[in-house]
Amino acid sequence: MVLVSPDHHVAVLAYEGMSAFELGIVTEIFGVKWPDAPSYRLTICAEGAGQVSMVGGATLQTPHTLATLEAAQTLVIPSVSDVHAEATPELAAALRRAHAKGARIVSICTGAFALASAGLLDGRRATTHWLHADLLRRRYPRVEVDPTPLYVEDGDIFTSAGSAAGLDLGIHLVRQDHGAAVANLVARRLVVAPHRDGGQAQYIESPVGDDPYSGRIAASMAWAVERLGQRITVETLAKQANVSPRTYLRHFTKATGTSPIRWLITQRLQASLPLLESTDMSVEQIAAKVGFDTAVTYRHHFGRAMRTSPSAYRRSFAR
């Protein structure tokens, strides 16, 4: 768990020919200052000082170069304009030096290609947009490419899937830095979910039409969220949707990109965070309240998802 100061320096790289959307994601999450939430110090950088042309004919002017990018504590690399090109030697060197000094390195969408080109993803798990996952795997065989999740955290390097998954990853970073309550506040301000379940699989193009079961699946999920403390199985959810367990499992996975049990675990973990932050309930009590059979099971899943223990999380974020 990383706790950061209010002046934690985040730098984002502006590329020639980039989309303003990903730059906007970083600006909204790390640049906009809210009166009731911790803030970051954001700098927009380019490989060279001056103008950067963006999609649509707009230009961006910044005096900040790779020297400023390299000095930041968190570096964000948005989508590259050409996935077939290597990162420039100057950018690759700056990324390596920043990482060697302890910086947190983040990529959005095909920005993972720049990180891989710099050698930062060697031996690590990473993701990118599903359209380019096979290319990333072929070009950089030392990278463990996982096209499934919306984002991947591997130590101090974070990669996201498509451009909009940068929102999910950005909110995850805020959660890591400041806790679930602040991350949820940021998500509400942006009018997005604080955590999207499933992964890229639900967005991959398919010739199959709309699933007629989607309404039933959604209703059963809403029912479950209101009853996380109860014992809920696939059979329970299938009964709520008025389908067989086999049919439910197939259509749930198709709709969400994950299994019902994994989705339930995520919901229960998310429900436990405010309890750790703002109550004096024991870990055992919290585990039972959000639906885990035992505190041991809760600690196991919490550790896998959060890279820390419930007790350590509480020490960091208790209010």
Q: What share of the chain is helix, strand, coil (3-state, %, to 5)?
A: 50, 15, 40
Query: What is the mean pLDDT of the segment spanning 162-173?
Result: 91
Rounded Cα–Cα distance for residues 225 and 166 (Å): 25
Q: The tokens of 134 are what?
A: 């096979």
Token pair for 60: 């961006």
Q: Which CATH superfamily is domain 9-190 in?
A: Class I glutamine amidotransferase (GATase) domain (3.40.50.880)
Measured CA to CA, the distance from residue 187 to residue 170 in angstroms comes to: 10
Report yes or no on whether pTM surpasses 0.75. Answer: no
For residues 292-302, give the mean pLDDT.
95
**Higher pLDDT, residue 316 or 309:** 309
Return the CATH number of the domain spanning residue range 213-257: 1.10.10.60
Share of the chain above pLDDT 90, in %: 57
| Among the listed residues 76, 81, 83, 25, the one whose alpha carbon sits nearest the alpha carbon of residue 53 | 81
Is the pLDDT reported for residue 194 higher than 50?
yes
The closest of 270, 264, 241, 257 to 199, measured between CA atoms, is 257
Domain boundaries of the chain, sorted by first residue = 9-190, 213-257, 262-316
Which DSSP helix (H) or strand (E) runs through 68?
A: helix 66-71
For residue 71 the two structure tokens come to 């000095």
Q: What's the pLDDT tens digit per position in 33-51?
A: 877 777 899 999 999 888 8
Q: Which fold has domain 262-316?
A: Arc Repressor Mutant, subunit A (1.10.10)
Beta bridge mates, 159: 107, 152
Question: What confidence tens digit (pLDDT) does each residue in 112-127 have?
Answer: 999 999 999 999 999 9
202, pLDDT greater than 70? no
Q: Tell me, yes or no, if the two domains 9-190 and 213-257 fold the same way.
A: no
pLDDT at 148 over 90: no
Q: Are 202 and 256 in contact (CB under 8 A)?
A: yes
